[in-house]
């Protein structure tokens, strides 16, 4: 059955791979599932046809036969459940990997997004300079805790899993900030994620949309 995802027709990040279709592409590449992409503009994302797929008018969405999903956590979990490669076989290890997916989305991503929102939308407010250090403190708090847990392991819990895919995707949002530099093990962790052939293919595919070129085979 054909899998179709949606992505930005023109990503605001200029093809840096930060739009959330990249994590879905990455998951599909990890499990070897081909997929098609329907590009949407900011205008069409808010129209009825797209809202029927995604009630909040966002990307990415995921369609497979009569199944339509939104939310990258749910999409990556669905892919990982149906195809080998992203979740361990053993029930407890599987539950722990799923826990890391939730941790990435519910505990680590929110302060990172708060920082992005502050920088993008609040830079002209009088209180911005006072607030930013508080927001960055909250990001560092999470990074410190994550760094302690990861220690010198390659991945968060044994072999690479959907939990690592999601955590690396979330941490990548900080790459240009320099904030990860204080945590060499997290920097190396992110680099390990980026070095995976499946990530490389996913990144190239989203970049090709932006540059208008064909992704490499």
Contact status: 20 vs ligand GSH (CB under 6 A): yes
| Number of helices followed by number of strands (H, E) in the chain | 10, 4
Binding test (CB under 6 A) with ligand GSH, winner from 3, 5, 19, 186:
19
Number of residues that bind ligand GSH (CB under 6 A): 7
Q: Which helix (H) or strand (E) holds 170?
A: helix 162-171
Q: How far apart are CA 94 and CA 77, in angstroms?
A: 11
Least separation, in Å, of the C-beta of 8 and ligand GSH?
A: 7
| 194 CB-contact burial (10 Å; exposed 0-12 / middle 13-18 / buried 19+) | middle
Binding test (CB under 6 A) with ligand GSH, winner from 53, 62, 69, 72:
72
Residue with smaller CB distance to ligand GSH, 143 or 166: 166
Structure tokens at 39: 């590009």
Q: Which helix (H) or strand (E) holds 62?
A: strand 61-64
Stretches 53-61, 95-103, 118-126, 149-157: which one binds ligand GSH (CB under 6 A)? 53-61
Residue nearest to ligand GSH (CB): 58
Report the phi/psi class of residue 43: left, alpha or beta, with left for phi > 0 and alpha for psi in -120 to 50.
alpha
Least separation, in Å, of the C-beta of 42 and ligand GSH?
A: 7
Work out whether strand 61-64 and strand 36-40 pair parallel, antiparallel, or are unpaired: unpaired
Residue with smaller CB distance to ligand GSH, 91 or 120: 120
Per CB under 6 A, which of residues 178..197 are in contact with ligand GSH? Answer: none
Q: Which helix (H) or strand (E) holds 27?
A: helix 21-30
Binding mask 138-177 for ligand GSH (x = CB under 6 A): ----------------------------------------
Q: Which helix (H) or strand (E) holds 38?
A: strand 36-40
Handedness of CA 136, 142, 145, 148 (dihedral sign): negative
Binding test (CB under 6 A) with ligand GSH, winner from 27, 28, 37, 59:
59
Binding test (CB under 6 A) with ligand GSH, winner from 33, 39, 44, 71:
71
Contact status: 58 vs ligand GSH (CB under 6 A): yes
**Residue ranges that bind ligand GSH, judged by CB under 6 A:** 19-20, 57-59, 71-72
């Amino acid at each position: 059955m054909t899998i179709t995802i949606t992505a930005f027709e023109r990503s605001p990040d200029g093809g840096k791979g930060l739009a959330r279709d990249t994590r879905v592409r990455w998951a599909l590449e990890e499990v070897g599932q081909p997929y098609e992409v329907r590009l949407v503009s900011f205008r069409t994302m808010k129209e009825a046809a797209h809202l029927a797929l995604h009630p909040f008018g966002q990307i990415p969405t995921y369609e497979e036969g009569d199944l339509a999903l939104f939310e990258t956590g749910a999409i990556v979990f669905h892919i990982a459940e149906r195809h080998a490669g992203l979740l361990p076989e053993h029930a407890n290890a599987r539950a722990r990997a799923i826990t890391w997916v939730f941790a990435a989305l519910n505990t680590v991503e929110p302060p990172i997004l708060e920082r992005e929102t502050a920088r993008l939308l609040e830079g002209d407010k009088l209180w911005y300079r006072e607030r930013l250090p508080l927001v960055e403190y909250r990001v560092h708090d999470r990074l410190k805790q994550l760094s302690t847990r990861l220690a010198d392991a390659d991945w968060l819990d044994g072999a690479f899993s959907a939990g690592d895919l999601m955590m690396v995707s979330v941490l990548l949002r900080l790459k240009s900030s320099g904030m990860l530099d204080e945590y060499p093990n997290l920097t190396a962790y992110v680099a390990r994620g980026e070095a995976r052939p499946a990530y490389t293919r996913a990144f190239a595919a989203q970049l090709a949309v932006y540059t208008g070129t064909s992704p490499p085979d």
